[in-house]
Structure 1
Amino acid sequence: MLNSPLSASSTELVISVLSLVLSQGKPLDRAYSQHFSGLQLVPAEQARITIVAGDILRRLNLYCYLADIKPEEMERFGSKLLNVWHLFHGLDLPKMQYALPVDREDYASRLAIAQNQPVLWDGCPQWLDELGQAQLGDNWVQERAALNQAPKRYLRVNELKCSREQLVEKLAGEYVLTQAVEGVSTALEVLSDSALFRTESFKAGWFEQQDAGSQLVAAALDAKPGMRVIDACAGAGGKTLHIAAQMQGKGRLLAMDVEQWKLDKLKERGRRAHAHNVETRLIVGSKTIKRLKLSADRLLLDVPCSGLGVLKRNPDAKWRDTPERLPVLMELQQHILQSYSRMLKVGGILVYATCSILPDENRNQVDAFLGANPNFRLLDDESISPAASGFDGFYLARIERIAE
Structure 2
Amino acid sequence: MLKTSLNVKSSQLVVNVLKLVLEQGKPLDRGYSISFSGVKLKPEEQARITQVVGDLMRRLNLYCYLANIQLQDAAKNAELLIVLWHEFNGLNSGKLPKASQFKRSEYQHLLTKAKKDEVLWDGCPEWLEKIGTEQLGKAWQAERKALLQPAKRYLRANQLKTTRDELKKSLSKEGIETRVVKGVDSALEVTSNSPLFKSKAFKAGLFEQQDAGSQLVAGAVDAKPGMRVVDACAGAGGKTLHLAGQMQGKGRLLAMDVEQWKLDALKDRAKRAGAHNVETRIIASSKTIKRLKLTADRVLLDVPCSGLGVLKRNPDSKWRDTSERLPVLVKLQEDILQSYSRMVKVGGMLVYATCSIMPEENRQQVDKFLANNPHFTFIEDENITPANTGFDGFYLAKMERISEGA
Normalising by structure 2, what TM-score? 0.98
Tell me, yes or no, if the aligned pair for 2:93 and 2:99 is still in contact at 8 Å. no
Segment drifting more, 336-345 vs 42-51:
42-51
CA distance in 2, matches of 1:166, 1:228: 29
CA distance in 2, matches of 1:292, 1:39: 47
CA distance in 2, matches of 1:72, 1:265: 34
Q: CA deviation at 1:101?
A: 2.1
Q: Where does residue 187 of structure 2 map in the other structure?
A: 187
CA distance in 1, matches of 2:75, 2:356: 32
Amino acid at match of 2:395: Y
Q: Where does residue 213 of structure 2 map in the other structure?
A: 213
Q: Where does residue 76 of structure 2 map in the other structure?
A: 76
Q: Where does residue 122 of structure 2 map in the other structure?
A: 122
Q: Where does residue 327 of structure 2 map in the other structure?
A: 327
Q: Where does residue 50 of structure 2 map in the other structure?
A: 50
Q: CA deviation at 1:380?
A: 0.1
Q: Where does residue 17 of structure 2 map in the other structure?
A: 17
CA distance in 2, matches of 1:287, 1:255: 16
Tell me, yes or no, if the aligned pair for 1:344 and 1:350 is still in contact at 8 Å. yes
**SS in structure 2 of the partner of residue 111 of structure 1:** helix
**Is residue 2:176 matched to residue 1:172?**
no
Q: Where does residue 312 of structure 1 map in the other structure?
A: 312
Q: Where does residue 109 of structure 2 map in the other structure?
A: 109
Q: Where does residue 279 of structure 2 map in the other structure?
A: 279
CA distance in 2, matches of 1:181, 1:106: 45
Q: CA deviation at 1:75?
A: 4.1
**Is residue 2:357 matched to residue 1:381?**
no
CA distance in 2, matches of 1:214, 1:384: 9
Q: Say what the alpha-carbon RMSD is for the aligned residues.
A: 1.0
**Is residue 2:297 matched to residue 1:290?**
no
Q: CA deviation at 1:200?
A: 0.5
Q: Where does residue 150 of structure 1 map in the other structure?
A: 150
CA distance in 2, matches of 1:354, 1:9: 39
Q: Where does residue 131 of structure 2 map in the other structure?
A: 131
**Is residue 2:245 matched to residue 1:265?**
no
CA distance in 1, matches of 2:43, 2:120: 32
**Is residue 2:95 matched to residue 1:89?**
no
**SS in structure 1 of the partner of residue 280 of structure 2:** strand
CA distance in 2, matches of 1:308, 1:100: 38
**SS in structure 1 of the partner of residue 197 of structure 2:** helix
CA distance in 2, matches of 1:9, 1:339: 51
Amino acid at match of 1:220: A
CA distance in 1, matches of 2:255, 2:210: 18
Amino acid at match of 2:146: A
CA distance in 2, matches of 1:33, 1:370: 43
**SS in structure 1 of the partner of residue 351 of structure 2:** strand
Q: 1:241-275, CA deviations, whole angstroms, 9 ceiling, x for partnerless residues? A: 00000000000000000000000000000010000
In the superposition, relative to structure 1, how do residues 76 and 332 fare at CA in structure 2: closer, same or farther (>3 Å)? closer
Amino acid at match of 1:187: A
Tell me, yes or no, if the aligned pair for 1:355 and 1:395 is still in contact at 8 Å. yes
**SS in structure 2 of the partner of residue 270 of structure 1:** helix
Tell me, yes or no, if the aligned pair for 1:16 and 1:75 is still in contact at 8 Å. no
**Is residue 2:29 matched to residue 1:29?**
yes
Amino acid at match of 2:74: M
Normalising by structure 1, what TM-score? 0.98
Tell me, yes or no, if the aligned pair for 2:64 and 2:74 is still in contact at 8 Å. no
Tell me, yes or no, if the aligned pair for 2:67 and 2:107 is still in contact at 8 Å. yes
Tell me, yes or no, if the aligned pair for 1:6 and 1:94 is still in contact at 8 Å. no
CA distance in 2, matches of 1:159, 1:394: 23
5+ residue gaps, structure 2, are none
CA distance in 2, matches of 1:94, 1:74: 21
CA distance in 1, matches of 2:207, 2:156: 6
Same amino acid, percent of matched pairs: 65
**Is residue 2:392 matched to residue 1:392?**
yes
Q: Where does residue 163 of structure 2 map in the other structure?
A: 163
**Is residue 2:91 matched to residue 1:63?**
no
Q: 1:318-363, CA deviations, whole angstroms, 9 ceiling, x for partnerless residues? A: 1000101000000000000000000000000010000000000000
Amino acid at match of 1:229: V
CA distance in 2, matches of 1:71, 1:6: 23
Tell me, yes or no, if the aligned pair for 1:80 and 1:100 is still in contact at 8 Å. no
Tell me, yes or no, if the aligned pair for 2:94 and 2:100 is still in contact at 8 Å. no
Q: 1:21-52, CA deviations, whole angstroms, 9 ceiling, x for partnerless residues? A: 11222211111112111222222211111111
Amino acid at match of 1:159: Q
CA distance in 2, matches of 1:97, 1:258: 45
Tell me, yes or no, if the aligned pair for 1:15 and 1:74 is still in contact at 8 Å. no
**SS in structure 2 of the partner of residue 205 of structure 1:** coil
Q: CA deviation at 1:99?
A: 4.1
Tell me, yes or no, if the aligned pair for 2:180 and 2:188 is still in contact at 8 Å. yes
Tell me, yes or no, if the aligned pair for 1:171 and 1:177 is still in contact at 8 Å. yes
Q: CA deviation at 1:73?
A: 2.4
**Is residue 2:351 matched to residue 1:351?**
yes
CA distance in 2, matches of 1:220, 1:39: 41
Amino acid at match of 2:195: A
Q: CA deviation at 1:98?
A: 4.9
Segment drifting more, 77-86 vs 64-73:
64-73
Segment drifting more, 29-38 vs 318-327:
29-38
Q: 1:202-236, CA deviations, whole angstroms, 9 ceiling, x for partnerless residues? A: 11000000000000001000000000000000000
**SS in structure 2 of the partner of residue 297 of structure 1:** strand
Segment drifting more, 89-98 vs 216-225:
89-98
Q: CA deviation at 1:193?
A: 1.1
CA distance in 2, matches of 1:299, 1:71: 42
Q: Where does residue 202 of structure 1 map in the other structure?
A: 202
CA distance in 2, matches of 1:157, 1:131: 36
Tell me, yes or no, if the aligned pair for 2:181 and 2:188 is still in contact at 8 Å. yes
Tell me, yes or no, if the aligned pair for 2:83 and 2:96 is still in contact at 8 Å. no
